[in-house]
Amino acid sequence: MDAAQSSGAGMVMATAVLDLERARAVASRVVDPEIPVLTIADLGILRGVRIDGHRVVATITPTYSGCPAMLQIADDLRFALDGAGFDDVDVAIAHDPPWSSDWITQEGLEKLSGFGIAPPGGEIVCPQCRSGSARVVSRFGSTACKALMACTSCGEPFDHFKDF
* Nearest residue (CB) to Zn ion, 43 versus 112: 112
Q: Least distance (Å) from Zn ion to the CB of residue 23?
A: 42
Establish if 128 lies at the interface with Zn ion (CB under 5 A): yes
Q: Which stretch binds Zn ion (CB under 5 A): 85-93, 116-124, 126-134, 138-146?
A: 126-134
The single residue among 6, 7, 138, 153 that binds Zn ion, judged by CB under 5 A, is 153
Q: Least distance (Å) from Zn ion to the CB of residue 153?
A: 5
The single residue among 40, 126, 145, 147 that binds Zn ion, judged by CB under 5 A, is 126
Torsion angle defined by CA atoms of residues 122, 125, 131 and 132, in that order, rounded to the nearest 10 degrees: -30
Sorted by sequence, the CB contacts under 8 Å of residue 103 that are 6+ apart come out as: 43, 44, 45
* Nearest residue (CB) to Zn ion, 60 versus 151: 151
Q: Least distance (Å) from Zn ion to the CB of residue 63?
A: 26
